[in-house]
Structure 1
Amino acid sequence: MIGILRKILGFIVYYTKGIYRKVNEENIFFLSAGIAFNGILCLLPVLLLFTSVIGMFLHSSSISLQKIDQILDTAFPPQPYAQQIQQSLKGIVRDIIHYRSTFGLYGIGILLYASASMFSSIRHVLNTVYRLKSSKLVIITILENILLVIVLGALFVVANIFSWVLLPVTSLLKEIPNLGIIDIGSLMKSLSFAASYIPAFIMFYVINRFIPERGITNKVALVSSITTTSLWWIAGKEFSWYLAAFHSYSKLYGTYAFILVFLLWVYYSSVVFVVGIMVGQLYRERRSGI
C-alpha cells in the first residue's frame, strides 16, 4: 500500500514539476496564441461559406425571399431614412443570392489556405515541444495539411456540435411527460460524453501521432490525446452551460459577452492542446530517458 502511494505521489510530483518547467521553457502562452489566432482566421472563410449556403437557400425558395421582404416592410416605418435602410438591406440580400457561388468558391479557397496555415502552426508547436526537426518536403507538407483540414475539420465539427447542442436538447426532452419512465438525464449524459469525447480523442490522436516528423509512439500520442481531450471536454461543457444560460446575460451584455466567451474558449482550447503535448513529452522523456 505504501509503495502504491509513493508511486502515485511520485507521478503527481513528476508531472507537476515537469509541466511547470516546460511552461517556462516553451513559452506556452505564445505557442497557444499562434494556434488560436490561426483558428480565428479560419472563421472568416466559414462565414463566406455560410453566406453562400444562405444565398442558395433563398435562391431555391421564392417564399423565403418574400417573407424577408414582408419582415423588412413590417419592421421599418414609412419615414424616408427608414426606407433607405430597408432598401439597403434588401440590396444586401439580393447580392447574397446573386453572388452565392462566388462566396462559396472564395470561402473554400480561403478556408483551405487558412486551415493549412493553422496546421503549419500546429506542426511547429508539436516539433518544438517534442524537440523534433522538420525534414519533409514543402509540397508533401502542403498536401498533408489539406488532407488534415478535411479529416480533422469533420471531427472538430462533430465534437463541438454534440458538446454544445445536447445540453439544451436534454432540457427539452425532460419537459415531455410521456418520457418520464426513462432516465433522460443519465441517457443524454452518457450519449453526450461518448459522442463528444470520442471524435475529439480521435482528432487529437491523429494530430499527435501523424503530424510530428518522427519518433512519436502510440503510447505517447495516447497520453497526449487523453490529457488534451479531457481538458477540452471540460471546456466544452462550460461553454455549453453558458449557451444554456445565455438569455440571462444577453440582456446585460448582448452579443459582446458571447463573442468574448467564444474567444476565451478558442484560446483555452489552444492552451490545453499545448499542455497535452507537454504531458506526452514528459511521458516520453520518462520512458526513454531523453
Structure 2
Amino acid sequence: MKFPYYYRIKQFLNHYLGGLYKRADEHHIFLLGGSLAFSLFVCTIPLVLVIFFVLGIILEESYVRQQIVFFIDRIIPYSEYASFIKRIIFSRVSEIIAYKTLAGYVGVLGLLIAASGLFSTMRTALNTIFKGKGKKPSFAEKFKDFGIILLVLAFFLISTAILPTLEIIKDSAYKIEFLSFFRLSAVQKSLFSILAFLIIFLLFFALYYFLPHEKLSKRAAIISAFWGAILWEIAKQAFGYYITNLSSLGRIYGAYALIIVVAFWIYYSSLVFLLGAEIGQLYSERIRDISITGKSQP
C-alpha cells in the first residue's frame, strides 16, 4: 500500500532540511557568517554618526534621545544591556549634536568605505549561495552599493516616522473614542511586532533581490525574505530567553557583557540572513526540478 502524502512530506523535508545541512557545510556558512558579522561591526560607528547627524538637523535633542532609545531597543532587545549602552551614549549626545556637521562628514565618508566592504562581503556570500558568477568590481557596482546604503537608511528613517505616529495614536486612544481599539496592550504589541517584522522582511527582500550577480526570481526572493524574517524573530526570542533566564554573562564579564551580547546577536543575525538565502535557493532548485519532471508540488 502506497502513501503518496507520506513520501511527498518526506521528500519535502529531505530537500529543505537535508539541503540546509548539506549546504551549510558546502558553502562554509559559519565562516561566511563570521565575515559578514565583522563587516557589520565595522559599519556600526560611521552609521551611528550619520544617524546623529540626520536626527540632529531635523529633530530636537529630546526627540533624538527618544529615537536613540527606540533604535537601541530594536537592535539590543534585552533591557539590562540596552540600558547600559544608553547611559554611555546619552553621556555624549550633547557633544555629538554640537559637532553634528563634522560628525556627519566623517560618518558619511566612513560609511561609504565600510559599507562598500560590507556589501562586497554580502554579495560574495550570496553569489556563493545562489551560484552566481563573480564579476570584477566596477563603478556601477559601487554606485549600486551606495543605492542600497540609502535604502537601508531609508528604512531607518521610515521607522522613526511610523513608530512615533503609532505612539501618538496609542496616547490619543484614551482621549478619542473611535481609537479605543488601540487601548488594548495586546493590540499595541502586535502592531509593533508586525511593523518590525515587515521592516526586516522588506530589507531582506531588497538585499536578496538586488545585491547578488545571479538574478533571483521575485518569488524566490520573497520566500528567502519571509523565512529570513521568521528565523530572525525566532532567534531574537530564543536568544532573549537565554540571556534573561540562563546566561551568567553579567557575572563573568561584568560591563563587557554588552559587547559579548551584541557580538553574538550580530553573528546570529548574519547566519539567519544566510540561511534565508539558502532556503530561497533550495526553493528555486525545487521549482526547476518540478518544471522538468512535473511530478510534485513545492
| Structure 2 length-normalised TM | 0.68
**Aligned counterparts of 1:181 and 1:139: Cα–Cα separation in 2:** 52
**Aligned counterparts of 2:110 and 2:25: Cα–Cα separation in 1:** 35
Deviation at 1:137, TM superposition (A): 5.7
Q: Deviations over 1:151-207 (max 9, x none)?
A: 1233267679999xx9xx9xx99xx9xx99977342023212320111111111111
Residue 52 of structure 1 contacts residue 101 of structure 1 at CA under 8 Å; is this kept in 2?
yes
Deviation at 1:264, TM superposition (A): 0.6
- Which structure 2 residues correspond to residues 70-219 of structure 1 after superposition, within 5 A? 99-135=99-135, 138-155=138-155, 184-219=184-219
Q: Provide the identity percentage.
A: 30
> Which residue number corresponds to residue 280 of structure 1?
280
Residue 224 of structure 1 contacts residue 280 of structure 1 at CA under 8 Å; is this kept in 2?
yes
> Which residue number corresponds to residue 28 of structure 2?
27
> Which residue number corresponds to residue 72 of structure 1?
none
Of 265-274 and 151-160, deviating more is 151-160
> Which residue number corresponds to residue 8 of structure 1?
9
* Equivalent position amino acid for 2:188 in 1: M
- Number of residues paired by the alignment? 248
- CA-based RMSD of the aligned residues comes to 4.2
**Runs (5+) with no aligned partner, structure 2:** 63-91, 293-298
Residue 132 of structure 1 contacts residue 212 of structure 1 at CA under 8 Å; is this kept in 2?
yes
- The change in CA–CA distance for 1:147 and 1:97 in structure 2 (over 3 A counts) is closer
* Equivalent position amino acid for 1:109 in 2: L
Deviation at 1:250, TM superposition (A): 6.1
Larger Cα Rg: Structure 1 or Structure 2?
1
> Which residue number corresponds to residue 228 of structure 2?
228
Of 47-56 and 221-230, deviating more is 47-56
- The change in CA–CA distance for 1:156 and 1:264 in structure 2 (over 3 A counts) is farther
- The change in CA–CA distance for 1:223 and 1:182 in structure 2 (over 3 A counts) is closer
> Which residue number corresponds to residue 45 of structure 2?
44
**Runs (5+) with no aligned partner, structure 1:** 62-91
Residue 43 of structure 2 contacts residue 114 of structure 2 at CA under 8 Å; is this kept in 1?
yes
Deviation at 1:225, TM superposition (A): 1.0
**Aligned counterparts of 1:15 and 1:60: Cα–Cα separation in 2:** 49
Residue 136 of structure 1 contacts residue 213 of structure 1 at CA under 8 Å; is this kept in 2?
no
Deviation at 1:237, TM superposition (A): 3.9
| Structure 1 length-normalised TM | 0.69
